[in-house]
Structure 1
């Protein structure tokens, strides 16, 4: 074969080979490309990366994705077991908050996920720390790091003592992007068993009466009360939003016997319930 024909064939083969290798190389897949980095925590030979949509922790419900990087091999760990303990340091005590177990993210090799619900924070975002315990190749690791939790602009979480002498925590999860429509409303309901333990509350009902205080306190049609879904342990209902602006979501918490534990009906003489969440869009 003449040299002028041979060289183009060699170059074509090299380009094709490189392109194929890049396409099939799993290290080129960014499994957190739709997320923003919140914080990295270095622990010896590992670096733990924390992600969510906003790139920050806020009061209320936080969905969190985690990756663990092996610093010696510069690769991400695929097989690990993890748990966590968020902790708020008060002047005279400390407490935790509602949180989920950590599991492998569906369809991803190196990402683990769970949620934490921060019920309060200091004005400057200080006060919280996060302890991560994890196991890789039958070796246990632990690390604790100070984190920053900022105050969300509206009331997306309510922590309250109810008439049954139990402290509950109610957190708004959906809608994240409300619209003029009937939106699916999703909340988490937990009770404070002690300063470190916040189990899910099952089988209650949360009545819903959304109002616009700045517009004559009018409501909206076709809302439904929130009921417990045992599939994911959250509460679901329909939230009808008829215009943009500020909405107060007036609520009543009722136990399995329909006893009202917290909250009141909205009437002409009572413009709002003592139990509520807020939306503005």
Structure 2
């Protein structure tokens, strides 16, 4: 009898173990370190749940976004899908979009599809933002429209200028360094051309010249590297901070040999 009871308990334990193991594969794990859920909702067809994550509140400027997809009926995470992002500002008499970078792969990494949006203005009395997430997965093509809140960045991280060479408007977004230090830092900005209120293609034709300045001290710094285009409008270089304090990162943007415009970003540490 004791042997029978022991075998019964062992069998029940194994059933529980394997049942739990199967459930853990089917039920989607939630993003963990440094991510917070900022929006979510069902697609128009109500069969896919969309969740949007970021490392912080959304702000005016370049925001990396991470999308998680779930089957609405089973709760199982969708690991393969094609995703397109379209931010939309809704104002009283008009609408406009903003630059967006879609996930570059159709396979989730750690359960997330990563892209980015450059929000051009804060939410408020002037208007409100929604994020349209278009999804194509398992033969299903649908979309979810979720409201998002955007705050004004404490330090401006988005600049614009009208080109002196072709009259087009350009947006310049600051990406790096996020944690500046004394010494050489990676510098990254992204540049977009404003073709219309709905079309913001990434730029690759401009050349950038960097001139760091510490206005309070009246000096610059040596050993800087001008940002060079890498991909999808991202320009990467090096900036050398010789001391702590407020710096102005002056960027001259050229179209060929001619100056198209100038912008600068503040970095204070």
TM-score grouping bracket, smaller chain normalisation: 0.7 to 0.9
Q: Which residue of structure 2 aligns with residue 279 of structure 1?
A: 267
Q: Which residue of structure 2 aligns with residue 259 of structure 1?
A: 258
Task: Answer with 188-197 or 107-116: which moved more.
Answer: 107-116
SS at match of 1:76: coil
SS at match of 1:198: coil
**What pairs up with 1:45-124 in 2 under 5 angstroms?**
45-54=47-56, 56-104=57-105, 108=109, 110-122=111-123
Decide whether the 8 Å contact of 1:209 with 1:251 is kept in 2: yes
Q: Which residue of structure 2 aligns with residue 205 of structure 1?
A: 207
Aligned-residue offset at 1:254: 0.8
Report the Cα distance in structure 2 between the residues aligned to 1:187 and 1:260, rounded to whole angstroms: 18
Q: Does 1:236 align with 2:243?
A: no
TM-score by length of structure 2 reads 0.84
TM-score by length of structure 1 reads 0.81
Task: Answer with 158-167 or 102-111: which moved more.
Answer: 102-111
Give 1 or 2: higher strand fraction: 2
Report the Cα distance in structure 2 between the residues aligned to 1:38 and 1:197, rounded to whole angstroms: 25
Aligned-residue offset at 1:58: 1.0
Runs of 5+ unmatched residues, structure 1: 264-274
Q: How many pairs does the alignment contain? A: 265
Quote the RMSD (CA, aligned, Å).
3.1
Report the Cα distance in structure 1 between the residues aligned to 2:18 and 2:146, rounded to whole angstroms: 42
Aligned-residue offset at 1:13: 10
Aligned-residue offset at 1:59: 0.9
Q: Which residue of structure 1 aligns with residue 42 of structure 2?
A: 42
1:171 counterpart (173, 176, 187): 173
Query: What are the Cα deviations for residues 1-47 of structure 1, in whole angstroms up to 9, with x where unaligned?
Result: x959x9499669948x8399659953588462122211112332332
Report the Cα distance in structure 2 between the residues aligned to 1:109 and 1:259, rounded to whole angstroms: 45
Report the Cα distance in structure 2 between the residues aligned to 1:112 and 1:208, rounded to whole angstroms: 33
Decide whether the 8 Å contact of 1:190 with 1:198 is kept in 2: yes
Q: Which residue of structure 2 aligns with residue 158 of structure 1?
A: 159
Report the Cα distance in structure 2 between the residues aligned to 1:3 and 1:138, rounded to whole angstroms: 54
Distance 1:24 1:243, change over 3 A: farther
Distance 1:63 1:125, change over 3 A: farther
Runs of 5+ unmatched residues, structure 2: none
SS at match of 2:74: coil
Distance 1:66 1:3, change over 3 A: same
